[in-house]
Amino acid sequence: MSEFDAEVLVFPTVELPGEVDALTLPAAAIPQPPRPLPWRRWLAQPRLLSLATVVALLALWWLVTALQLVPPLFLPSPQAVLGKFHQVATVGYMDATLWQHLNASLARVAVALLAASLTAIPLGILLGRSRRARAIGDPIIEFYRPLPPLAYLPLIVIWFGIGELSKILLIYLAIFAPVVISTMAGVSAVAPDRLRAAQALGANPRQLLWYVVLPSALPDILTGMRIGLGTGWSTLVAAELIAATQGLGFMVQSAANFLVTDVVVLGILVIGAVAVGLELLIRALQRRLTPWQGKV
């Protein structure tokens, strides 16, 4: 109780919404909050705060290495990693430039995502529409979904060898589960009134599926793909443990074997940056394809 009150007292710095200006209240009637201190207003902006965090972390990293608190073998300096970035980008590491490694990894994830979408979305629709199909599919998906990819990696190698197929298959399986589950959820949550409305306008079952069920489930399908892309990307390193010659995971792995720590750090940073990029990309796609999400 008192804690909550204290919160309220600390936060009258919040600016009044713009609509208040439109009211015909006399200026004196509007309670004026005390002007916040400049730095507090600055910190109230989420983006700036996020940026400040990143800068602070980089500064801390630089400071720790500049003061030589940690040997470079364990933590190379930011400058060293930046230099390595230039070197790997132009000359390359392990017979491939950074871009070739990146390309190999992105291609694997893209093929896996495409294959997962083409199979998981139809299956999810089937499972969402048919109770019997769900009864059959549920135990299979629920069994394999929580398995860590590294646990079934050896079996995939035994079955499918050490070629490209095994790598893509591993990523594919990581993407498949979230896509099928969210498609199923989206399809079974279609508003009954919308289905009825379409039927009363003359829709046959096929039209119902294309014109109502699929667009209704699209927000969930895209969310599934977003989650799937995240798990798929994080499975990458595991997939590229299998006799790869290119790929970011392979690059990090082989650099670790030779204790080339700056390449390891570089690889991790690139993997992280790409993950953020993919996430932003699919969020933009969601805004574009399903602008009604959360509004209706």
Partner 1 sequence: MAELRVERAAAVYSGRNGPVTVFENLSLTVGAGRFIVALGASGCGKTTLLNLMAGFLRPSAGRIALNGREVQGPGAERGVVFQHDALFPWLNVLDNVAFSLRLRGTPARERQERARAALALVGLAGFDRHHVWELSGGMRQRVGLARALTADPEVLLLDEPLGALDALTREQMQELLLTVWAQTGKTLFMITHGIEEALLLATDLILLSPRPARIAETLTLDFGRRYLAGEAARQLKADPAFVALRERVTRTLFAYNTPGEFADV
Please report, to the nearest 10 degrees, the dihedral formed by the alpha carbons of residues 195, 197, 201, 202 taken in order.
30
Least distance from partner 1 to the Cβ atom of residue 282, Å: 18
Question: CA–CA separation, 279 vs 234, rounded Å?
Answer: 13
**Is the CB of 159 or the CB of 210 nearer to partner 1?**
210
**Is the CB of 14 or the CB of 296 nearer to partner 1?**
296
Least distance from partner 1 to the Cβ atom of residue 292, Å: 4
Least distance from partner 1 to the Cβ atom of residue 201, Å: 4
Helix (H) / strand (E) element for 78: namely helix 78-90
Task: Please report whether residue 290 would count as binding partner 1 according to CB under 8 A.
Answer: yes
- Footprint of partner 1 on residues 171-200 (CB under 8 A)? 191, 193-194, 196-200
Question: CA–CA separation, 278 vs 233, rounded Å?
Answer: 9
Amino acid at 265: V
Question: CA–CA separation, 234 vs 252, rounded Å?
Answer: 13
- Three-class DSSP category at 93: strand
**Is the CB of 133 or the CB of 208 nearer to partner 1?**
208
* Residue whose entry in the numeric block shows the structure tokens 């989206």: 186
Question: Residue from 44, 203, 209, 227 that binds partner 1 (CB under 8 A)?
Answer: 203
**Is the CB of 217 or the CB of 239 nearer to partner 1?**
217
Query: Which residues contribute to the site for partner 1 (CB under 8 A)?
Result: 191, 193-194, 196-204, 207, 211-212, 215-216, 218, 290-292, 295-296
